Amino acid sequence: MIGDSLRDLHAFLTVSEEHNFTRAAARLGVSQSALSQTIRALEERMDTPLFLRTTRKVSLTEAGERLLALVGPAMEEIHQGLAQMSALRSRPAGRVRISADEYAVHAVLWPALPAFLARYPDIKVEITTDYGLADIVGQRYDAGVRRGGLVSKDMIAVHIGPDISMVVVASPAYFARHPRPRHPKELVEHNCVNLRLPAQGYFAWTFRKGANEQRIRVDGQLVVNSLPQVVEAALAGVGMVHVPERLVREHLDAGRLVEVLREWRQTYDGYHLYYPNRRKSPALGLLVDALRYSP
């Protein structure tokens, strides 16, 4: 009933604007006879004529003028509200939940996020730092970020970062007290800062030189669970650390840290953003495009 009344009032307003049933019918996409029946039915419900009809012109009666004054502004507000809602639908919005390890947040996500969030103010991004391989479906994440080799084959994966080159570094002060290692096996004689992660324990330091791969279990006085803490320890001269080259590039350039075993650098696949094999939300699609890596 309410829907019929709104349609009838819309027809009434269109005729009052056009002052002509033929033009009004064309605007509404109906036949002239159908429009005439609609107006006649409205006049019967109102129990008063709304238009004066002549062969040349259609004009409002006094009752029609009063009805126009009552419903005209209200209908205009309705149209404006619908237009605003349409604009909101056309503007990307929503929340994107991501699971990523600490270095991925630092090296890949954060550099792109400020510009992305400024461009899409109605999109919210929620990042959980997690070194484990989170069940993004079970834990209701929209996507995860991990190195390429760690992504499950049943996920859609998008390359979002360059390959990761690992380096062994320490401060000049540390090397003033200790000889520089010439082979990875010599690391067992050094004070090395270990990274221990929840549910994963200590990481072995892995090296590669051609076909020769070495996995070394190092030891030292300090164990931490965060990469920034590892770098701080190296800068303080506590010991040697094994970290992504990009994380310490500025310190190497400034001479605050010194690299050793360069010819034994291990390189891992770059980061990928992955999500289940299903239709992704528009907000996630825009974030994927913003993060996509092109060598």
How many Å apart are CA 206 and CA 202, to the nearest integer? 12
Please give the pLDDT value at position 264. 97
Q: Which two tokens stand for residue 33?
A: 């006879």
Q: How many residues does the chain have?
A: 295
Q: Are 230 and 122 a contacting pair, CB within 8 Å?
A: no
Q: How far is CA 65 from the centre of its chain?
A: 52
Our count of domains for the chain comes to: 3
Q: Which two tokens stand for residue 205?
A: 């330091």
Same domain, 257 and 186: yes
> 227: domain CATH number?
3.40.190.290
Burial of 100: CB neighbours in 10 Å, binned 0-12, 13-18, 19+: buried
Biggest CA pair distance of the chain: 108
Please give the pLDDT value at position 203. 76
Please give the pLDDT value at position 131. 76
Q: Which two tokens stand for residue 21?
A: 């049933």
Domain C-terminal end among 54, 73, 90: 90
Same domain, 144 and 229: no
Same domain, 234 and 201: yes
Same domain, 189 and 250: yes
Same domain, 130 and 198: no
Domain C-terminal end among 64, 90, 116: 90
Same domain, 86 and 10: yes
Same domain, 174 and 261: yes
Same domain, 277 and 192: no
- Specify the pTM: 0.66
Please give the pLDDT value at position 85. 61
Same domain, 156 and 195: no
Element housing 14 (H / E): helix 2-18
Please give the pLDDT value at position 150. 75
> Where in the sequence is the domain holding 30, given as residue range(s)?
2-90
Q: Are 59 and 18 a contacting pair, CB within 8 Å?
A: no
Same domain, 69 and 196: no
Same domain, 240 and 281: no
Domain C-terminal end among 61, 90, 119: 90
List per-residue pLDDT tens for the chain, 295 residues long. 445 678 888 888 888 888 888 888 888 888 989 888 988 988 888 899 989 887 777 889 999 889 888 888 887 777 666 665 655 556 788 889 999 989 999 999 999 999 999 999 989 999 998 877 777 877 888 999 998 877 778 888 999 999 999 999 999 999 999 999 999 999 999 999 998 876 566 778 999 999 999 999 999 999 998 899 999 999 999 999 999 999 999 999 999 999 999 999 999 999 999 998 766 788 999 999 999 988 7
